[in-house]
Structure formats: C-alpha cells, structure tokens
C-alpha cells in the first residue's frame, strides 16, 4: 500500500531539482537502484534534498563510528519504532557492509533484551548516580 | 516516583535467592553499586534471576559485537522507546566502556536521523529488493 | 491480514444497533463507502457506537480548529504511532478536504522533524520556563 | 535528570561555531532565552547547526501551513511519542502564537481520539480504496 | 511539570458542568480524592465529560472481564506506551482491587516478555494460519 | 516480507540444538504447527532457546494469573507496540484458550481507552498519592 505517489525515473528526470538528488544517490551508493523511500519523498523536492543531505553527512564513511555499526544502530532504532520498511532496508545495507550472521543474531538479541528491560523499568526512578552534571 | 518498592540491601540480604543475584551483579561488574532497576525487579526473585542471566549472556564481553557497540545499540533502542531510565544507565555504561564525545555525538545524530526517516516512511511500501528469501 | 472478522453489509443489516451506526456514518459522510475500521469494530456494537459518536463530536465541522487541520493533526499522531491504516485513511480524508501537495509536503516535513527532535531530547530535563502554573 | 552536559552561555561564547547558532536562535526568536534542548545538542556543533537549520526551514513563517497549525502538529507527534519535553516546549510556543484554550482543548481531544483509534485498528487490513496510485 | 493548568476544587465548584463530573467521580469511586488527570482534562468540560463517561462504561464492574484483569490490561498498554502517569495510577488501582505481589510479578514478567518478542518479530511475516476470515 | 530467512523443517532437522527446541515447542503446544516467529529466531540457536525457555516459564499454566488473562495482557502490550504479528498470533492463542467474543470486545475497548488516556496525560504530573514507598 502507498499513501503517497512514488515518482518514477521518467518523472524525476523532468525536474532538475529531483534529478540532481537522484543522480547523487546513485553516484554515492554506486548503484542504479533508488528505493521507494526516496521516490515518496520526491513529492517534495526540498524535503528530498534536505533528507538526503542529512543521510549523507550522518552515515558518511569517515567518522568516529564505523559504517557497519552505524547501520546496526539504525536497525535498532527502526525496530523499536516498529518501522518495518527501515528494518528491511537497513538490514540489507548492513549485510552489504559485511554484517555476519553471528553479528545479526547478537544485534537482534540486544534489541530484544533492551525492548524487554525498557518495559520493565517504567516503575522505577533514575538513580542520581547516572546524572551528568 | 516509584510504582513498585525498591528493595534495600538489608532486605536483599535476608533472601538467599535475591542475595545470590545481587552478589553476582557486584562480582560481574566489579562494583558495589546496584542500581534501582534491579531493586525493583527484586520484588519477584524469578524475574530478577531470569533478567540478570539474560543480561549477562547478551551483553557478555566475548562475542561478535564489541561491548561498546552493544551499549550504543542499547541506547538506540531505549531512546526510540522513550525509556529515560535506560538512556541514563546505558549512557553511563557506554562512557565507562570508553565512548568518546565524538562517538556520542554521532550516536545521537544517527538516532535522530533514524527517528526522522522512520516517521517519513510510513506511507511507502517495502521494495521487493529488500526481501530475504 | 485480519485478526478479527470484518462484518459485511448483509450482516450489519440484520442487527439494528449496527445498522443505525452504519446508516449514520453514510449519512454524515454523504458516501456509501464504509471502511474496514468500522467493519471490525462492528463485532462489538457498543464499542462501534461509542467510537463513532466520539469521532462525530471531535471531528465535527463547527469548532475552533478547521476540518483540514484536524485531519492533519490526526495524520501526525497516526504516523508517530506507526499506524499505517490511519495514515492511509486520514491522508485520503485530508485530500478530500482540500489538502494541497504543498501542504502535504510540509506536514510530512514537520512530522519528520518532530520525530527527530523527540529522539534527540530524551537526555535533557524540561526547562522550568515551560511549566504552566 | 540529564544524561548529557548542558552547555552554559559562558561555554558557548568560547566556541565560534556554537556562538553563531545561539546568536541566530536568539535573533530569529527575538528572545534571549535558549532552552535546554539546544544546550544539550551543543555538545556536537555539527548536530546543533544541522538541527537548527532544519527547524528554521521547516517551521518558517512563510509557507503553506500557518505557524500555529505547525506547532499543533508538532505537539501531536510529540504526544504520541511520549516526549514530555517537546510537549511542554511546543505547547508554550503554540500559546505564544495565539493558541486559544478552545483550540488547545480540541487539539488534545483529536490527539486522544487518534491515540484510541490507532490502538483499535491493529487488527484490520487497509482498504484498497485508500491506496494512492 | 505540567503543560496545562490543573483545576482546583474551588475552580471546579464554580462551573456546574465540571462539578457534575467531579461529583460523579467521587460517588462512583467512593473517595474524595480526584487525581491530576481529571484536573487537567477539566480545562475542556466536554472532553472531561466524554472521557469520564467512557471510563465508567469500559471499566464498569459488571462485564465479561473482571475488574482486576481490566486494571492489569490497562497497566500493560500504559507500560508499552511508556506512560508513567498511567502505570502509577492503574497500579494503585489494581492493588486496591486485590492484585497480589505474585500477580504483579507475573504481570510485569508478561509485559517484559511481550516487549521483547514484539521487538524480535519485526522481520517476520504473519503466518496465514493466524488470519481470521 | 521478511528481513531474515525463515528456516524450514528440513533445515531445523539437521541442527540438533534447533531440533530440540522445535520438538519441545510441538510437545508443549500439542501441535505440529511451528509459526514463523520461531523460524526466524532459528537463525541464532542460542536466541531461539533463550526466548522459548522464557516463553515457557512466563506463559506457563500453573501460576497466579490464568492462561487466558495472560494472553489478553500479551495482546494489550502488542497492540500498544503496534506489533501486528503478535496481535495476530496471540489473538489466535487467546481464542484457542476460550476467549469469547464479549471478552474480545471488552479487551479491545480497554486497550483503546488506555491508548486514549495515555495520550491525554502527557501534560500532567503524577500525583504523590500514587507513589509506593
């Protein structure tokens, strides 16, 4: 199901602001495939551009957290938010960046454990020891 | 605020099943401090034991994902679930395991970005390319 | 997939308490189409009636917030709750009430931004300046 | 409680990249008050700048959705995400932009109703009539 | 913190529509104590009345689910939604209706387990065997 | 859609650690049917075993909360978390354990009501009367 139109390549080609972003997505990812997420955002060129630029900066290769860990963190947030689309797309991305079956199993275990303890802790006040001053 | 009693060390000492878990928490973490989460769970000795054993296994040092990355994944899930307690406790744990300010800044950036795209994607179907067969 | 039966028009016709609500939905909306949400609730006539009466009052035309804004607020909550059904149905409703592409683009942008900052703020205490006394 | 340091004005003053954003926040809002959200983000100058620029663009006065409606949409998302901080700060902002008591009452009513129907609809498939092609 | 005014008994007394609901809350619960939830809703008399009437009907003593089970279901939803207020108020209510420590321990265990499996299942399609036709 | 492989019976048969759990699931439930949830977890034998053992203990017949109530609490958490899979599987389980249509209607009513009041209460501080000391 879709609640918004997904723009085709033919439609994107006609609008320079969209074409520029799609070209950059393809060049950055070294792949012709542009997934539905971007085709939905393409209904609003400014939102598309802003979102892509943010993704490029935050998920960039050169940084204090390695690219595979970044994808695993992304999967963790997306799972907790129940975002099936993002779990699918970022699991694919994590595998493409070398996530092993053992790492995936542990990732899922941590996510499940955190999901559990997050539910267990609602009744308890934060210890003052954890406060940053 | 607390919606359940937090057991004191004196109370825990009197019940062998609780004392055994608290002793193991202290030995495993090499610290006398036992935080409120465990003091709340201590109302149900079986739940306390089951939860601690799971935490010990999943967050163990020897595994396919390093201990700091595990803590960052934990923070990611907890933030998405809006679990302030867990964000506080696992941020403290991540810092104790060497998380730098730069890594924390990036972690927060990824969490925020994922939170945003999770909200943007609700209207779009998953691409068949992401399916695992 | 459905985890509950969806009542057909033929079934609804036979039960006066259901028929009365379905008739009112059709009359109020000036449309013969009754969507699955109501067909699922129809398993419990009292729940169906209570929910419809509440929808009628809260989403009524005459009020301090205009009908299109109400639909956009509904979409915002539903997106944050990851409720795909409600995002689809209320986006259709908002378009029927005149939501332009530009408004939809901005709505999605605000929802995404709020989703992001909601994730960024977990670590910070509320400023006393925001308290209402 | 805070899980991250909140930078003081004195600290912000010493770092040009932070000072530039704080100056712009004050100038844009015509107010000296900078709330904790920004003081927490200030731990990562790039994240601070990126977030503020996004807020400025998305919440800008000139657009297809009026400023008060934007704030109400923001409150709706934040309530659904259980983000107490954002509910407090954006309720203050909405009131500053003219939200009446009657509008606030209706906003809360719509949020509550959507929260309810979001919970009621989990068992039901989306009607094909709502799909955008 | 409060993002809305909490009406005092003196203020409620002056407005017949509010007084009627507060009187009914006190009579139904056989207690003079009216908690903050209702004092916040009292800013909008229609919302207050609608919400109270719904609570009275749904949580009524005479029904297919016993009153204590109803409170435990309420706690379950509220915990999953991270609603600290509701966890506190309905835990107090469940205890007042006879919830034992053993039942509370099991309730928390089920909530924690469900929280975990809800996080584990994001990657898996629903079995056709579970569909209701 | 699936973001992880679902192991077939043939694959499970070849790995003793997996076969042992699947055999126990079938024996405990007195049914040959093993649903997708377990087939996905089977990618990580340790996670599969840990999760099944926990489910067996927490959902066991002999305890302070009866089996049907446990399933209803499970449905409540899963609905609030928007976990369609778990709503489907545990609604089937609850029906198998005798949930009547009247009970299901009330369960859904309570979940919906809690979902609503959880959204209404974000702006209000917890009453000190609800605190456990």
Query: Average pLDDT, stretch C67-92?
Result: 95
Domain-embedded: residue E34:
yes
Using the beta-carbon criterion (under 8 Å), do E55 and F113 form an inter-chain contact?
yes
Query: Average pLDDT, stretch D44-62?
Result: 94
Grade residue E1 by pLDDT with cuts at 50, 70 and 90.
low
Pick from E82, E92, E105: which is nearest to B47 by CB?
Answer: E105
Phi/psi region, residue D82 (left: phi>0; alpha: psi -120 to 50; beta: rest), is left
How far is CA A81 from each of CA B118, C23, C52, E53, E118, rounded to the nearest angstrom?
A: 7, 37, 29, 32, 11
Domain-embedded: residue D127:
no
- Asked whether residue D49 falls in the same domain as residue D85, the answer is no
Q: Would the pLDDT of A105 be above 90?
A: yes
- Asked whether residue D4 falls in the same domain as residue D39, the answer is yes
Q: What is the pLDDT of residue D40?
A: 95
- Asked whether residue C77 falls in the same domain as residue C32, the answer is no
Tell whether B50 lies on the interface with F, counting CB pairs under 8 A.
Answer: yes
- Single out the residue in E26, E58, E90 at which a domain terminates: E58
Q: What angle do CA D59, B77, B29 make, to 5 degrees?
A: 135
Q: What is the pLDDT of residue A122?
A: 79
Q: What is the pLDDT of residue F1?
A: 60
**Residue of F124 and D116 predicted with greater confidence:** D116
Query: Average pLDDT, stretch B98-122?
Result: 95
Query: Average pLDDT, stretch A8-27?
Result: 97
Domain-embedded: residue B32:
yes
Note the pLDDT tens digit of each residue in B43-101.
999 999 999 999 999 998 889 999 999 999 999 999 999 999 999 999 999 999 999 99
Using the beta-carbon criterion (under 8 Å), do D79 and F114 form an inter-chain contact?
no
- Single out the residue in F58, F75, F105 at which a domain terminates: F58
Domain-embedded: residue F127:
no
Using the beta-carbon criterion (under 8 Å), do F1 and B133 form an inter-chain contact?
no
- Asked whether residue A71 falls in the same domain as residue A98, the answer is yes
- ipTM of predicted assembly, 2 dp: 0.94
To probe the interface with E, which of D74, D92, D105 has the most E CB atoms within 10 Å?
Answer: D105
- Single out the residue in A36, A58, A80 at which a domain terminates: A58
- B-chain residue closest to F49, CA distance: B54
Pick from C3, C51, C82: which is nearest to F87 by CB?
Answer: C3
The whole-angstrom distance between C15's CA and the closest CA on chain D is 21
How many whole angstroms separate alpha carbon E9 and alpha carbon D128? 51
- Asked whether residue A93 falls in the same domain as residue A71, the answer is yes
Q: What angle do CA B119, B125, B129 make, to 5 degrees?
A: 115
How many whole angstroms separate alpha carbon C73 and alpha carbon C90? 10
Q: Would the pLDDT of B2 be above 90?
A: no
Q: What is the pLDDT of residue B21?
A: 98
Query: Average pLDDT, stretch F74-89?
Result: 95
Domains identified in chain C, total number: 2
> What is the residue-averaged pLDDT of chain C?
94
Note the pLDDT tens digit of each residue in C17-28.
999 999 999 999
Query: Average pLDDT, stretch A75-94?
Result: 95
Domain-embedded: residue D41:
yes
Residue with the two structure tokens 């299109």? C68
Structural tokens at position A115 = 């999901």
- Asked whether residue B46 falls in the same domain as residue B70, the answer is no
- Asked whether residue D103 falls in the same domain as residue D66, the answer is yes
Domain-embedded: residue E87:
yes
Domain-embedded: residue C110:
yes
Q: Lowest mean pLDDT of A58-62, A99-103, B111-115, C12-16, name the range.
A: A58-62
Domain-embedded: residue B75:
yes
- Asked whether residue D20 falls in the same domain as residue D44, the answer is yes
- Asked whether residue C14 falls in the same domain as residue C45, the answer is yes
Q: Identify the CATH number of the domain in which residue B77 sits.
A: 1.20.1290.10
> What is the residue-averaged pLDDT of chain F?
94
Query: Average pLDDT, stretch A7-34?
Result: 97
Using the beta-carbon criterion (under 8 Å), do B104 and D77 form an inter-chain contact?
no
Q: What is the pLDDT of residue F26?
A: 97
Q: What is the pLDDT of residue B15?
A: 97
Q: Would the pLDDT of B31 be above 90?
A: yes
Q: What is the pLDDT of residue A131?
A: 78
Q: Lowest mean pLDDT of A50-59, A109-118, D122-131, F50-59, name the range.
A: D122-131
Query: Average pLDDT, stretch F87-100?
Result: 95
- Asked whether residue A51 falls in the same domain as residue A66, the answer is no
Q: What is the pLDDT of residue A50?
A: 97
- Asked whether residue B79 falls in the same domain as residue B95, the answer is yes
- Asked whether residue C38 falls in the same domain as residue C67, the answer is no
Using the beta-carbon criterion (under 8 Å), do C130 and E1 form an inter-chain contact?
yes
DSSP string, chain A: --SS----HHHHHH-HHHHHHHHHHHHHHT-S---HHHHHHTTSHHHHHHHHHHHHHHT-SSSSS-HHHHHHHHHHHHHHTT-HHHHHHHHHHHHHTT--HHHHHHHHHHHHHHHHHHHH-TTSPPPGGG---
Q: Would the pLDDT of F60 be above 90?
A: no
Which residue range is the domain that position A105 belongs to?
A: 62-122
Q: What is the pLDDT of residue F61?
A: 80
């Amino acid at each position: 199901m879709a609640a918004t139109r997904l723009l085709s390549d033919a439609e994107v080609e006609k609008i320079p602001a969209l074409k520029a972003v799609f070209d950059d997505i393809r060049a950055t990812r070294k792949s012709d495939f542009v997934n539905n997420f971007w085709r939905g955002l393409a209904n609003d060129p400014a939102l598309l551009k802003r979102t892509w630029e943010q993704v490029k900066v935050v998920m960039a290769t050169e940084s204090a957290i390695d690219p595979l860990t970044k994808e695993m963190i992304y999967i963790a947030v997306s799972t907790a938010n129940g975002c099936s689309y993002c779990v699918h797309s970022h699991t694919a991305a994590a595998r493409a960046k070398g996530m092993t079956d053992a790492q995936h199993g542990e990732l899922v275990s941590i996510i499940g454990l955190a999901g559990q303890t997050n539910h267990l802790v609602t009744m308890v006040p934060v210890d003052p020891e954890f406060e940053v001053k």
